[in-house]
Amino acid sequence: MVSGHLAEKKGYYYAVLNYKGLGGKRETKWISTGFPLRGNKKKAEEKLTELRANFEVPEIPDEDQLLFSDYITQWLEGAKPNIELSTYASYYYYTKKISMYFEEKGIRLTVLEAKDIQDFYTYALKEWNVKGNTVIHYHALIRKSLQYAAKMKMIPTNPTLNVERPKLQRFVGSFYEVDEINQMLEATKGTKIYLAAMLASFYGFRRSEIVGLKWNAIDFKNKTITVKHTVTQSTLDGTFQLIAKDRAKTKSSLRSLPLVPVFEELLKELKANQAEYKRLCGKCYNYDFDGYIYVDEMGELIKPNFLTQNFSIVLKNHGLRKIRFHDLRHSCASLLLANGVSLKEIQEWLGHADFSTTANLYAHLDKSTKTNSANVMLNTGINFAQKSMNPQMQQ
């Protein structure tokens, strides 16, 4: 019988089972007992005993026969308790693709070579038509998993040390000019994405930050709006999941910005509307997301993907230039730069973790610094030639 104990999670008792997994590592499996906390501890303990008795430890193949496709899948499951759910969802997608390729090849973990991995990257680039940045994600996962295998002495060395990964492709975001933003905002008026388009264009908020906004983040007295809660969504094996966190993407993403009059007025109107919807809907109103700003008339949270999909639809229906919803954040940054705001100030406004992120994304748009540099050089007193240096041209 495996060892285990009860734990509390989301108002229910869970059985937490412990067993020895891949590489001798202690694995943990959480299983819901189905019993709410109040008055059900004895029943939950009985269920725990039953689950411990009937739990079948996943069979671990002999290391010499273990396929790399099976190994990387098992490795990810072992790492799951130590990573964010959103990170796991991303890893899960990439791992499925890696496993699918190597399962067909039938390559065992102990004989996996750098060439096998290099061949996979070449195949993904040509046959799956993925970009180099996607292959870099594959590489990071393979390297990490094999690092663990080497640490557990399942393999002598990590073969990714001899693999050449593609170069990181620098991302250059699209952005709207002022007249395009005005047209876009006019097109979104009266739709469920209007507030989101406003927040992304003015404050440069990320999609997760917009959906995650709560009323306790709005300080009408001190006129501030604070990013301190986010909502993302992931799909695991076809199952949709919302992931809410009382923290932002990075520590720097937690930021308070001025609540300007136009947004103060808009939010006060929205707050009054929500109170009226609650009154009209009564028991039909969904209070699961009570406290969130971005809910519909029935109290249902507006999902992150809804913003993305409907933004594209609005642009298409109004004949506007196609950009991503996230590009409104880039539009905000480009307008700030064009109006003399420094990159350092933009870093703080957008909530980037460090200055280099802001500089890498937007330095190419900062024409003012280059113009200033040119003017400085012209005013140094050096007599720069005003005629052609070609003698024949001067004749």
380-394 pLDDT, tens per residue? Answer: 666 655 555 455 544
Does 61 have pLDDT greater than 70? no
Supply the pLDDT for residue 392.
53
Q: Are residues 36 and 154 in the same domain?
A: no
**Segment (H or E) for 20:** strand 12-20
- Whether 276 is in a domain gets the answer yes
Q: Are residues 93 and 210 in the same domain?
A: no
- Whether 60 is in a domain gets the answer no
| CATH number of the domain within which 147 lies | 1.10.150.130
- Whether 89 is in a domain gets the answer yes
d(CA 238, CA 360): 35
DSSP assignment, residue 36? E
- Count other C-beta atoms under 10 Å from residue 160's C-beta: 20
- Whether 354 is in a domain gets the answer yes
> What's the number of domains the chain is made of?
3
* The 255-258 sheet, strands edge to edge: 218-219, 224-227, 255-258
Q: Are residues 156 and 279 in the same domain?
A: no
In total, the chain counts a number of residues equal to 395
- Whether 383 is in a domain gets the answer no
> Per residue in 25-51, is it b (16+ CB within 10 Å) or e — as a string?
eebebeeebebeeeeeeeebbebbeeb
Which residues share a beta bridge with 231? 244
- Whether 375 is in a domain gets the answer no
Q: What is the C-alpha end-to-end distance of the chain, expressed in Å?
A: 99
Q: Are residues 49 and 74 in the same domain?
A: no
Which residues fall within 8 angstroms of residue 6, CB to CB, at 6 or more apart? 13, 14, 15, 16, 33, 41, 44, 45, 48
pLDDT digits (tens, 9 = 90+) for 338-386: 788 887 888 888 888 776 666 666 655 655 555 555 566 667 666 655 5
Of 162, 197, 213, the residue at which a domain comes to its end is: 162
Q: Are residues 203 and 153 in the same domain?
A: no
Q: Are residues 7 and 99 in the same domain?
A: no
Q: Residue 34: give the domain boundaries.
A: 3-54
- Whether 167 is in a domain gets the answer no
Q: Are residues 29 and 109 in the same domain?
A: no
Q: Are residues 99 and 223 in the same domain?
A: no
Q: Are residues 186 and 331 in the same domain?
A: yes
Q: Are residues 99 and 191 in the same domain?
A: no
Which residues fall within 8 angstroms of residue 395, CB to CB, at 6 or more apart? none
Task: Out of 27-36, 110-119, 240-249, pick the least confident.
Answer: 240-249
Span 270-296, mean pLDDT?
A: 95
d(CA 274, CA 198): 19
Task: Report DSSP letters for 207-264, one per residue.
Answer: HHHHHT-BGGGEETTTTEEEE--EEEEEEETTEEEEEEESS-SSGGG-EEEE--HHHH
Of 129, 162, 195, the residue at which a domain comes to its end is: 162
Of 162, 193, 213, the residue at which a domain comes to its end is: 162
Q: Are residues 106 and 244 in the same domain?
A: no
Span 27-56, mean pLDDT?
A: 87
As a whole number, the mean pLDDT across the chain is 86
Residue 318 · residue 187 · CB < 8 Å: yes
Distance of CA 268 to CAs 77, 143, 211, 218, 274, Å? 46, 51, 17, 10, 10
d(CA 315, CA 300): 25
- Whether 351 is in a domain gets the answer yes
Q: Are residues 10 and 33 in the same domain?
A: yes
pLDDT digits (tens, 9 = 90+) for 89-137: 889 999 999 999 999 999 999 999 999 999 999 999 999 999 999 999 9
